[in-house]
Amino acid sequence: MSDMAAQSSAQTELPRAKTDWLPLLLIPALALLALPFVGSPSTWVTLTVAGLAMGMMIFLMASGLTLVFGLMDIINFGHGVFISLGAYATLLVLGPLAGWAQADSLGLNLGLLGLCILTAMGVTGIVGAVFERVIVRPVYGSHLKQILVTMGGLIVTEQLIHAIWGASPIPIPLPQSLRGAFVLGDIVMERYRVVAVIIGLVVFIGMQLLLNRTRIGLLIRAGVENPEMVEALGYRIRRLFVSVFIAGSALAGLGGVMWAFYRQTLTAGMGMEVMVLVFIVIIIGGLGSVGGCFVGSILVALVANYVGFIEPKLALISNILVMALVLIWRPQGLFPVARR
């Protein structure tokens, strides 16, 4: 096949694959547009890094949902509970390893964060498998029932969280080395936000590699577009559905951990509180598009940060405005996925 690729590239008159750069250019364009309104370059950098970090956390929470919607055509209103559950799963690690959070060691602190992430992804992945089997599977193909049933699942699971961990908010400490900020001249960047940016980028790159360089990724992309044809090729799409649902739940759990440490407080409704944002970014991005979800998350977070600084009264409606403008421009989202 490599011979074929070489032969192919040797042709000079080949039509080029079109790369859609416009949505990507929105991010730097937005940042540059905000600069004169913000005024101070150092404040602008601080706001931009904070926006990027927030965008990454939204991406982590939303990426699983966009995959689940794109591949399975499931409207999972219960997705928020996996965010909450992931956040609460940190307590399973923070309880026995509380000393690691207080230790003045970057290694121990990052190790603690890593363990929290792995535990949360494990817990939410397992609960996701049960959720798919018990709640989602009986309502495949019926959007109205999906909304009602997954909302019901969310309420039940939130109550289970209350039953297990109590209804009161639980404070959780940010690991010692992740507190405070990096100060470069007049620019202040919170350490935890920088870590969030790095983790978000790693997950995004990992997802891109998985989707574009592996057979399972090809199957997911093909399944988003035409699940019936994937079955006609001999692949069992149901297994793929379940795997993606579990992975989507685990990603929500990862987002929940990052969101929990950002807020430093756990509440059972914390996942549901961000679901409006999550739905906005997957709609803006193009349902089923991981790249669109990534760009949409950053866009929404940056706009919220800039508008919150420049004109706080408009901050509440800024996300809705962004969504409206994007959908007027591209009704199918920034990166529409070819759909069945």
Q: How far is the CB of 222 from another protein (least distance, A)?
A: 4
Classify residue 336 by burial, with Cβ atoms within 10 Å: 0-12, 13-18, 19+.
middle
Q: Nearest 5°: CA angle at 220, between 225 and 83?
A: 110
What number of chain residues touch another protein (CB under 8 A)?
A: 32
Contact call for residue 12 and another protein (CB under 8 A): no
Nearest CB to another protein, comparing residues 12 and 168: 12
Q: How far is the CB of 230 from another protein (least distance, A)?
A: 8
Nearest CB to another protein, comparing residues 73 and 158: 73
End-to-end Cα separation, the chain, in angstroms = 29
Nearest CB to another protein, comparing residues 104 and 228: 228
Number of H helices, E strands in the chain: 14, 4
Contact call for residue 8 and another protein (CB under 8 A): yes
* Eight-state DSSP code of residue 136: I
Q: How far is the CB of 289 from another protein (least distance, A)?
A: 10
Contact call for residue 151 and another protein (CB under 8 A): no
Q: Which residues have C-beta within 8 Å of that of residue 159, sequence separation ≥ 6?
A: 268
Nearest CB to another protein, comparing residues 219 and 326: 219
Q: Which stretch binds another protein (CB under 8 A): 13-21, 98-106, 144-152, 190-198?
A: 13-21
Beta bridge partners of 265: 171
Q: What are phi and psi of 232, to 5 degrees?
A: -65, -20
Contact call for residue 141 and another protein (CB under 8 A): no
Contact call for residue 145 and another protein (CB under 8 A): no
Binding mask 15-54 for another protein (x = CB under 8 A): xxxx------------------------------------
Contact call for residue 273 and another protein (CB under 8 A): no
Q: Nearest Cα to 136, choosing from 68, 86, 80?
A: 68
Contact call for residue 5 and another protein (CB under 8 A): yes
- State which of residues 7, 104, 171, 312 lies at the interface with another protein (CB under 8 A): 7
Contact call for residue 328 and another protein (CB under 8 A): no
Classify residue 48 by burial, with Cβ atoms within 10 Å: 0-12, 13-18, 19+.
buried
Contact call for residue 147 and another protein (CB under 8 A): no
Pick out residues in 199-238 that bind another protein (CB under 8 A): 215, 218-219, 221-222, 224-226, 228-237
Cα separation, 251 vs 102, in Å, equals: 27
Contact between 197 and 53 (Cβ < 8 Å): yes
Q: Which residues of 300-316 are buried (b: 16+ CB within 10 A; e: fewer)?
A: bbbbbbbbbbeeeeebe
Nearest CB to another protein, comparing residues 36 and 141: 141
How many other C-beta atoms can be found within 10 angstroms of the C-beta atom of residue 167?
Answer: 11
Binding site for another protein (CB under 8 A): 1, 4-5, 7-9, 11, 14-18, 215, 218-219, 221-222, 224-226, 228-237, 337-338
